[in-house]
Structures are given as C-alpha cells and as structure tokens.
Structure 1
C-alpha cells in the first residue's frame, strides 16, 4: 500500500483502458456492436485485431511531450464495420500530487495553451492531447466522449466531422460531376490553345473567340508571368518586400504544422535552450501575422497611391468606380 505521496507513476499509467467503450454507459447499439467486437477480438479474429491495432496506445516519450497519438487511420479505414475518431482530450484533472511534477514535461512547458471549445486553427495547442480511436461504426462521437469520461474521469471533445467511416461504394454527386466537367473543360482549353499557339494558327484567324481561347495558352501565360516590365510610378522596392513576406509566411506555416506531429521529443522543440521556439530570432518562423499584416500594409499603400494618382489626373475621386473595382477584386 502506497501513501498518496509515494504512489508510482505506474498507477496513473494503468488508468488507460485498452478497451475504452467496455462497460460504459453508451447507447444500446454501440454497446451491442462493441460487445461483438470484444468477443471476436478475444477469439483473435483478424478484423477485430486490426481495430484494436489501429487505435492509439500509450507510447514512449510521454515525459518529452509525445502525447499526440493518431493510431493507424488507413488500417481502420480498411474495415467496413469500423470508424476512425480523433478526440481532443483534456487531462488537466489527472494532474494532482504526486504526479504534478510531470505536468510541464508532458505538455512541453505549455508554449501555446488551448482548451476544449477553442476554434480550430492551424496553430497547435499544447494543453489538449489528440488521440485516435478505431471503434465500431454503430457508435457515435457522443458515445466515445461518454466512455472517455467514465473510464478516465476527464473531459474530451469528439466532433462529428472528426469521425470517418469507410466508404466502399463511391457515390457520384452533382458537385463532383460539376467539378470534373469544369477541370476537364479547362484542360481541353489549355491543350487546344497551346496547340494553336505552337502552330501559329491564331495569327491566321484573328477572331474574338480565338483571342479568348489564346488566354489559356501555356506559352503566352508563361511569357507574361516571367516578363519583367517597369510601369510608370511603380515602387520597385515593394517587390522585394512581397517576396520576403511570402517566404516568411511559407516558413511560418510549415513550422506551425510540424507541432501537430506525434514527436518523440516535442518538448525539445519548444525548449529555449534546445530548440527555436523560445529563441528570440524564432519570431521569423512562428509569427505569421507579421507577414500577413505586411501584405495589408502594402495593399493600403498601393491603394492610396492609386487614389492620389487618380486625384492628380482627374482632379476628383469617383468613389463608385473605386468601390465596384474593389468588389470585383475581392470576389
């Protein structure tokens, strides 16, 4: 018998249930399907074993931040009777003595905090853990939330769109048909205009329809994209600012996406002394708002420049034309 201050971390480890929905207060359909799954699993049925295998398990490296475990999505999708669900789990209630000293280690020192109910974003959080479950398709996302709470006494969020079932029968929808027709039409126009441009047939027939068709020619568009032309009143320094901002935005998006991965040593990525997240210069790769606001600044500068140019030329500003032009640009 351990005292409260001498209990082993193994006691907390043993709380994780390998059969999450077993003996829980879930719907009757879910309970029936899960009982059948367990019965087959204990008989070493292949599909039931795959369901168990596809569900995330407790990994190594938890004290180094390796808490996001997605299981095997593809293996779960191979089974007609199964579905894959990704849960956001709040393990805050588990952090009591004598486990409290492990809290910051497990959560990688909380570089970014989040909570259940926060709008989904490309920036990852370090408070919740993401865990993948392969469960019978008769169970709902609510059933999984109930089971997690009953087994672990912790809250979770399983959104309906985070549960996916295998779809062996492909269904043609109107949206799919329209999308295929649209892209096929574009491909045909590109092919036809490129051939006409290669054979110089557009110079023989100079009709309006031929000119419209030639807008899709690869040669013509490539020349326009790579052409370097100086316009009157152009602010050339803005091209460099745009290029650097775009590069910084790409780097920022890539860096932030990395933190969703199930790293063995995610804590190392966020520590000041060992990784970039806490270093002062890391602002280059983790603050995308700097680059998005830079584009907004450039947009305002160019808009004001164009407006004052029109004012100087026309001695007046036609707000109606400006508004219509802006609406078309936005849409």
Structure 2
C-alpha cells in the first residue's frame, strides 16, 4: 500500500502540472525517499533487504507494475491487475544473485453492505432501484502487486495485510511448471491419437482420389475426411424428428452464452455494480434462465428414448438392456475421457496471466476423482469438487438413463402399467424438488444465494438426479404420445381438423417458455424470500419448461410446425446438433482459457458480452469439430465393427440416428470387419 501511495502521488503531481516544475519534482523526490527509507538494506527480512538494494530505476518499475487506486470505485471497481508482463520482465543482479520480478495477485472479500456503510452513494442507488437486498452479496476483488522472486506470499501480505496471497497466484520467470508423469502420459496419448488420425486421413484421401474401396473399414475410422463429411453432410429420414436439431443447436448456444456471463463474475471487472444490476434486471432474465436449457436436453433424451424403443419393439426388436447401457456408455465416455485427460494435465500450459493460478483448482479434482468422472457418479462422491464443471449433467443423465428400463419394460409389455408409472413419476418429479427446497430452505437459483461460497442449492438440488428427473419423464411421456399419434393414428383425424386446438397448443407452448424465462424474476434473483414460492418454483418451473419444449417438438413432428419446423430443421442446425456434445464438453474450458490469459481488467457491457460470446462460440465450434471427428465418430464405427449392425439396432440404433445423423444399413445386411 505504501508503494501504491507513492505512485498515486506521482501520477497526481504530473497530472496537476502542465509542465515539469522543479518544486513538484522536489516533492516527488521527497516522497520516494521517504518510502524507500522504510526498505532497509539492514532488514532481517530478505525480501525487504533485496528490494532496498535495487537501483532506483528498478524500484520505480516495481511501483509502476503494481496496482494503484483504480478509477470507478463508486461503480464497484476495486480491481487493478497491475502490469503482469512488465513485472515479469524485471531482472537484476544483487549480491551476485540473479533476481526476477515476481507478480502476485491478491484477493480480498467482503459483503457489499460493508462498503455501503463507507459510501452512502451506494446505498442511495440501491434504494432508488429497490435493490437494498444486494447488501448481503459477498464479493471478491483482485489486486496485482510486484516485488522480487525472493519474496514469499507472506511478504506480499505484510505489505497488503488486508489481502490474501496464495503461492499458486504468484508468478515469475524462474517459476515454471515441469512436466510430471500425468503430463507426459497425456502427451503420449494425444500424440498417439494424432498419429492415428493423420495416417487414417492420408489413407482415406488416397482411397478417395484413386476411387478405391477400403480393405478394412477400421483403417478409415479415424479419418478426418470421412468423419468430417459425416458431420457436414445433412441426412434426412422419415424417422427423424428434425426439429430437435434446431432445438439442440439453440439450446447449446444458449448454454455457452449463459456461461460467458457467469464466469465473468469469477474474474475481475471494472464495473461490477453494473454487472450485478444488469444480471438482476427483469428484462435480462434470459441470462439467468440459460440453466433451463439443461432441462431441454433431459426432456429431449427421454422423448427420443421412448419414441425409438417403442417403435423398435413394435417392429419385433427386443430390448437388450445391457447392450443399451453399454452403447450409451461407449457413446459418451471416450470424449469425456479425452477432456478429463486434457484438463488434468495440459490445461495449465495454455494459461498465462494473473488469473492462471485458478487452473490448479481445475486440475486437482480431475486427478483426485477421475474414477467418479468415468463412472458418472460425481454428484454423489465429489459434488463440491466436480471435475469439468459442466459434467455434473452427464452424471445425472447417465443415472436416469440406467434406471429407465424399470419404466421401458412395463411400457413395452403392459402399456397401461407403463403409462401409470410415467404419470406417477411426473408427480414425483414435481413433489421431490418441492420437498427438498422446503425442507432445506434452498434458494431458487445459484445467483439468488447471498453468499458465493454457499452451494447448498447446487449440492442438494441442481446437480442431483433425484431432483432433476422430472423433465426426463415428461420427455418420455411425449415420446410415447408422438409415436402413438404418428404411427397408430390415435387422433383419428380429430387433431388435424381443429385449427383452433393447434393454435391453442402453440400459444400454450410459447407462453409457457416465456413465463418460465421471464415470469419468475423475483424468485430467480432472490428478491422473493418466501419459502413456499421458492419451493413451487423449483418444483414446477423446470418441468413446465420441459412440457413446453416437448409440446413444440410434438406439434412439429405431427406436421403442425409450419415455419417453426422449417426453421428448426435447417441443415446448419443438424451440423451443430452433431457436435453439440463436444461443444458442451469443451466450451467452458475455452471461456476459462480466455479469461485466465487476460492481463487487464475486463469491462462489462452487453455489447462486450456478445462479442466475447461469439469469439468463444466460434472457437468452441472449431475445437468441437476435431473433438467429434477424433473421439466420437470413430467409436461409433468401431462399435459397429465389433458388435455388428443388429447390435446397434437392439441397443437403440434409432437413438444413434437422432444424435449423430448417421444412416442405417438394411436390417438384414451385416457390417463386416473386412470387405
């Protein structure tokens, strides 16, 4: 802080004079000497002694690259990252010892209410906007400071006692990460896959230009050429519910947009007050409602599962539960394992900046709980240390999927019993979240929690399958309804003859989506404190959203979609739908890499957020294409080779059509290992 005062006074002195005046320089010189006198070369503290021994030019660089009093304090800008690169470029020799600059990022936390007590203008702004409850929000601010690499985090804390310094957020050129066993293993594994992909692609291109068929299909399984054409070539089939492609593409885009907003909260911005007020403005509830898109994927998964299973069973195919689960595991796990390997090893080497130390918090859970990632049980064993933050959804989805045969078997053999089970589970899917929220006094969203370090809402509701299965069951009900209306003609033409009913159903679905997004602003933001309101919200909102989404899918599938179905069925959406799983796995890492490499304080505005979104989204799409071509498409090909085409049919091959756009061969034609 003493150094900050010196620099601040220097800048004020210069700013207040139109030209360099001797009397001002004299005052500055006096201030610098007074400050330097506190750093004694006779000090027992090595850090202070070495700083005192620096030439005046280097001392000024230390001061210049350290944090100063920032502009916009009344707008909640207490962040100043200093000059990261300037600090690390310091290099001096003292007492025959070469020293480098050391940059440390300090953190200090407090509640907004504490700041409001000091600045009455904050309180008046909140009162004018009816936002006095924001005084309970806990926030973190960041301050970058520069000394020498002989200084420890404790030395930094001595200078700034009100800030916390951790070694992982301290950097110098002398401090470099050495490759450990995990890193070396990851490099070899990724290099192996890269070599396989390169050789497979070269061989495939040779076959393409010589118009030769492959001797062994497996030799082109990893070809970027073949897999790329599968991704970018639209497919069509009467069995496909093509509107789902558009719904998935829009949903995954919305998820990325929501996370671009969310993760900025965990990094430094220069107008945090604007960001907080923006996120709690009713007209911006589409940001808060981005989490509803997860329920879209749950509902779509349940819908497709029942739709394809019932359709296959009516064609005489028997449900093979072990193979169904094996197929699902093989479909999801290779790409997840690749992401797990990257995040637990090489992620640290693509981050360099004041916030790069955060990567340690991302690596540790992956190295400790890698087994729970691959077993899809993270939300049971390490709910507070999730590896690959968004992968909690995969655990929920897999757990629900494994239990679906308990409903599918009765639905196939005893339709009425199966329908009764689905209705009962729908009621339970509403009652359980209601009861959990009421019993534990949970909030209605993560943003509604007054303390950023309190995650009861996430731990006991948001990431638990027992509280999230409702939308999946609703999707299963609609999957059954779509099949019966589409193939059994149970409507007997009555639905198609009633334009008024079709219009009413469209109004219900669209109004439902709007109400779920904007109709619960008070509950979303936490301004509604009534426990009954919060309980009803957690019990009904996500299920109502799933109902509205499934209703739209049903109307489109049954021929009542009109321009909506035409839009959702655009070929570009099918391409995005094919790589949507890879987008989901990789997009947060792309966002984190951008933020951890930022060396200046971010400015929040809706325009900047949109710019960041498109940059992150396009980078994610590029990465996801390769991710899909290398870790997803080859597994599908190998799966067919090992088990044969009939296995895929028994193990939900129609499910594969919807999620990958792959075409099936004739039911009687078997896939051979060789030509």
- 1:267 pairs, out of 269, 273, 284, with 273
Say yes or no: does 1:161 pair with 2:168: yes
- In the alignment, which of 249, 256, 262 is matched to residue 243 of structure 1? 249
Describe how 1:185-224 pairs up with structure 2 within 5 A.
185-200=192-207, 204=212, 206-208=214-216, 211-224=217-230
In 1, distance between residues paired with 2:44 and 2:296?
A: 52
Query: What is the aligned partner in structure 2 of residue 56 from structure 1?
Result: 67
Q: Report deviation, 1:249.
A: 1.6
Distance 1:157 1:112, change over 3 A: farther
The match for 2:47 among 7, 19, 33 is 33
| Alignment map for 1:36-115 (pairs within 5 Å) | 36-40=50-54, 43-46=55-58, 48-79=59-90, 80-91=99-110, 95=114, 99-103=118-122, 115=138
Which among 313, 320, 324 is matched to residue 318 of structure 1? Answer: 320
Q: Is the 8 A contact 1:69 1:132 kept in 2?
A: yes
**Partner Cα distance (2:199, 2:308) in 1:** 38
Cα 1:306–1:142 change in 2 (3 A) is farther
- Taking only aligned residues, the RMSD between alpha carbons, in angstroms, comes to 4.1
**Deviations 1:186-230, CA, capped at 9 Å, x for gaps:** 44444444444444377547322xx33323333322221112223
Aligned length: 286
Deviations 1:239-297 (A, max 9, x none): 111111112122222233445665444434444xxxx4343231223443122232222
Conserved? CA contact 1:67–1:106, under 8 Å: no
The answer to whether the 8 A contact 2:66-2:145 is kept is yes
Pair 1:195–1:327, CA change in 2 (3 A): closer
* Gap change, CA 1:174 and 1:328, over 3 Å in 2: same
SS at match of 1:281: helix
Secondary structure of the residue that 1:37 maps to in structure 2? Answer: helix
Aligned match of 2:240: 234
Write the distance in 2 (CA, Å) between the matches of 1:219 and 1:112. Answer: 56
Contact 1:252 1:286 in 2 (8 A): yes
Change (3 A) 1:255 1:98: closer
Q: Which has the higher helix share?
A: 2
- In structure 2, relative to structure 1, the CA distance for the partners of 1:225 and 1:285 (3 Å cut) is same
Superposed displacement of residue 299, structure 1: 2.3
Write the distance in 1 (CA, Å) between the matches of 2:299 and 2:125.
40
Query: What SS does the aligned partner of 1:200 have?
Result: helix
**Residue 148 of structure 2 corresponds to which residue in structure 1?**
136
Judge conservation of contact 2:309–2:319 (CA < 8 Å) in 1.
yes
Structure 1 residue 103: Cα displacement: 4.9
Q: Which runs of 5+ in 2 are unaligned?
A: 6-35, 91-98, 334-675
Structure 2 vs 1, CA of residues 249 and 162 (structure 1 numbering), >3 Å: closer, same or farther?
A: same
Please name the residue that 2:413 is paired with. Answer: none
Q: Secondary structure at the match of 2:236?
A: coil
CA contact (8 A) 2:156 2:165 kept: yes
Instruction: Work out the CA distance in 2 between the residues paired with 1:178 and 1:193.
Output: 23
> How far apart, CA to CA, are the structure 1 residues paired with 2:213 and 2:116?
84
Match of 1:280 in 2: 282
Does the Cα contact within 8 Å between 1:64 and 1:106 map onto a contact in 2? no
How far, CA to CA, are the matches of 2:237 and 2:222 in structure 1? Answer: 25
Instruction: Note the C-alpha offset of 1:308.
Output: 3.6
Secondary structure of the residue aligned to 1:206 is: coil
- What's the CA shift for 1:92? 5.0
Shift of residue 67 of structure 1? Answer: 1.6
Distance 1:136 1:55, change over 3 A: same
